[in-house]
Amino acid sequence: MSVEEHKRLKRLTASSINGYEALSVYLKYIEENVISSLEKWTHMENDYVMEALEREYTMLNLGLRALRINIPGFAFHKALKARKVLVAIFQSIVDKRRNERKEKLLPGQKAKDMMDSLIDAEDENERKLGDDEIIDIMLMYLNAGHESSGHITMWATYFLQGHPKIFRKAKEEQEEILRRRPPTQKGLKLEEVRKMEYLSKVIDETMRLITIAVIVFREAKSDVNINGYLIPKGWKALVWFRSIHLDPEIYPNPKEFNPDRWNEVHKAGEFLPFGVGTRLCPGNDLAKLEISVFLHHFLLNYEMEQLNPKSPVRFLPHTRPMDNCLARIKKSSVV
């Protein structure tokens, strides 16, 4: 994809998941999903549709990092098959949306979410995106967005549960939000999420310690000199974020989970969980919103009991407990 095409698609898609209006639209869906999922988990109920989708994403993801061997049994082959299943699911969603819009959307009415923006988008020659292009973009967004936020949510829950003092402090902040809420208000407001200062530090600390996006790749467009090292034009460079996030000179005692280290402001370049530059993650605000909403409800009403608390952790391709953090979610015993 050309640089120009990347810029155009990013502009088009990023606006539908950024800013007050867009995030307010998503907040309602996120909260409904969080509440119903937490409730289901306490009864050990599963959402089979979501689980089936999750299986396909996982296959796709594993194949992205595998050798391109398209023979049955190999990860790449399984990923291609998973992609076909996902494309079929997404095609039915795009069809449904196009039909709904025919019936409901009045001429000139503003687009609502990313799919609407993609359906409406036109280039300078008035060419619209085809279904295959829309599906490609949706798949890319879901792939980029679901595992990263899911892992950080899981780790934040894990750290909170393992640090009772931090848990209590974070819970008090959430209780304060409820106390200040007008009795008639139903559900979270974006203003409330923005007041979750301590929770935001918990999330930043989780993202620092876990650094879910381990690396990004770049190419030097010209000779670059960094601290006396020359990266010649055309060389591929690999940015290893963990070396920044676990640098003891920037973060003393870097392996300690300590949200209070965020009481100090850090310099530019010292915290890059969402990358940097033109490729900066467009889902950064949405991701923090999703994680905050989950932790709000978790802290207020639930506890997590790991089934294998001593499970070893593996660090590649992502930091995760070897048992995938098998746990029981229970209603909290102390109210």
Total of chain residues touching ligand HEM, rule CB under 6 A: 24
Residue type for position 157: T
Which lies closer to ligand HEM via its Cβ, residue 150 or residue 254?
150
CB of 144 to ligand HEM, least distance (A): 3
Among 139, 254, 275, 300, binds ligand HEM (CB under 6 A): 275
Among 199, 286, 293, 329, binds ligand HEM (CB under 6 A): 286
Sequence-separated (6 or more) residues with CB below 8 Å from residue 236:
217, 218, 219
118 makes contact with ligand HEM (CB under 6 A): no
From the list 61-69, 73-81, 98-106, 276-284, the region that binds ligand HEM by CB under 6 A is 276-284
Question: For residues 47-106, which are near ligand HEM according to CB under 6 A?
Answer: none
x/- track of binding to ligand HEM for residues 231-270 (CB under 6 A): ----------------------------------------
From the list 116-124, 165-173, 219-227, 281-289, the region that binds ligand HEM by CB under 6 A is 281-289
CA–CA separation, 218 vs 224, rounded Å?
Answer: 12
CB 223 within 8 Å of CB 248: no
Among 38, 113, 116, 145, binds ligand HEM (CB under 6 A): 145
Place of tokens 């601290």: 227
- Structure-block tokens of residue 169: 């402090």
CA–CA separation, 321 vs 210, rounded Å?
Answer: 11
Q: What is the largest CA-CA distance in the chain?
A: 63
x/- track of binding to ligand HEM for residues 152-191 (CB under 6 A): x---------------------------------------
CA–CA separation, 133 vs 1, rounded Å?
Answer: 12
CB of 4 to ligand HEM, least distance (A): 13
CA–CA separation, 223 vs 219, rounded Å?
Answer: 10
Among 22, 129, 213, 293, binds ligand HEM (CB under 6 A): 213
Which lies closer to ligand HEM via its Cβ, residue 106 or residue 238?
238
- Structure-block tokens of residue 76: 């790449």
Among 173, 283, 301, 321, binds ligand HEM (CB under 6 A): 283
CB 185 within 8 Å of CB 196: no
216 makes contact with ligand HEM (CB under 6 A): yes
Please identify the residue of the shown chain whose CB is closest to the bound ligand HEM.
283
CA–CA separation, 111 vs 120, rounded Å?
Answer: 7
276 makes contact with ligand HEM (CB under 6 A): yes
Which lies closer to ligand HEM via its Cβ, residue 59 or residue 286?
286
Q: Does 325 show up as a binding residue in the annotation?
A: no
The closest of 15, 277, 17 to 142, measured between CA atoms, is 17
Which lies closer to ligand HEM via its Cβ, residue 170 or residue 287?
287
CB 115 within 8 Å of CB 138: yes
Q: What is the DSSP string of 213-245?
A: S-EEEEE-SS-EEETTEEE-TT-EEEEEHHHHH
23 makes contact with ligand HEM (CB under 6 A): no
CA–CA separation, 267 vs 227, rounded Å?
Answer: 17
- Structure-block tokens of residue 245: 């996030």
Radius of gyration of the chain (CA): 22
In this structure, how many other beta carbons lie within 10 angstroms of the beta carbon of residue 130? Answer: 9
From the list 26-34, 161-169, 212-220, 309-317, the region that binds ligand HEM by CB under 6 A is 212-220
Q: Which residues are annotated as a binding site?
A: 281
Q: Which residues of this chain interact with ligand HEM, rule CB under 6 A?
A: 10, 17, 140-141, 144-145, 148-149, 152, 207, 212-213, 216, 273-276, 279-283, 286-287
Q: Which residues are annotated as a binding site for heme?
A: 281
